[in-house]
Structures are given as structure tokens and as C-alpha cells.
Amino acid sequence: MKPLRIVRIITRLNVGGPAYQAVILNYLLKKKYNHKTLLIYGDISNEEVFYQTLLNNYPCEAIFCKELQRAINPIKDFIALKDITKIIRQFKPDIVHTHTAKAG
């Protein structure tokens, strides 16, 4: 099977199930099947904890998109969409997998 190019987008990498799933899926798909994976993740709020340990334990190619945030903000949302679209066009994925409602 030919390796796939997979982009996974998640609104934020806070301590929780969706972040865990997104990072580990990227890590395992690359390690086990040699797929080219990319994780795009957004910023956390002041009350949340960034899950850096997860990225340290399961290293994968990841891009931080500062304007991608949980809170609704039309200006930041537009900039995030523009930035993510640019990344996707450059990466040319076979699959785009989104996690959480806003990233979707």
C-alpha cells in the first residue's frame, strides 16, 4: 500500500481525550505504516494546560496555528482558516481528519 499524506486538525492540545487521540494517531500512522502525517493545532485558553508532554512522548510533525482557538472570534477564525488552507495546499494531503467541532 502506498503511504498516505494525512493532515489532522485539532482546535487545541489541552489535557484530554481528543488531543491524546490526535497525537497518538499521527505518531502511530507514521511509525507503523510510514504515512506522512501532519498535525495542525491551535492555542489553549488561559485556564487550560498545554499538553506538551504528549508531543514529547509521541513525536510527530506539528504546526501551531496561533489564531485557531476555541473561543469564537470572526477575525481570528478567518485568519486561522486562511493559514490552515495555505498549509493544506502546501502539504497536499490525501486525507484531512478534523477533531473537535471548531476544527471541523
Question: What confidence tens digit (pLDDT) does each residue in 8-53 have?
Answer: 999 988 888 889 899 999 999 999 999 999 999 999 888 887 778 8
Give the strand order in the sheet containing 36-41. Answer: 62-64, 36-41, 5-10, 95-99
State the pLDDT at residue 88.
98
Task: Give CA–CA dist 92/72, Å, rounded.
Answer: 28
Distance CA 3, CA 37 (A): 10
Per-residue b/e over 13-46, b at no fewer than 16 CB within 10 Å? bbeeeebeebbebbbebbeeeebbbbbbbbbbee
Return the higher-pLDDT residue of 93 and 2.
Answer: 93
Indicate if the pLDDT at residue 102 is higher than 80.
Answer: no
Contact 42, 68 (CB under 8 A): yes
- Residue 104: predicted pLDDT: 64
For the record, the C-alpha cell of 20 comes out as: 491524546
Burial of 84 (0-12, 13-18, 19+ CB in 10 A): buried
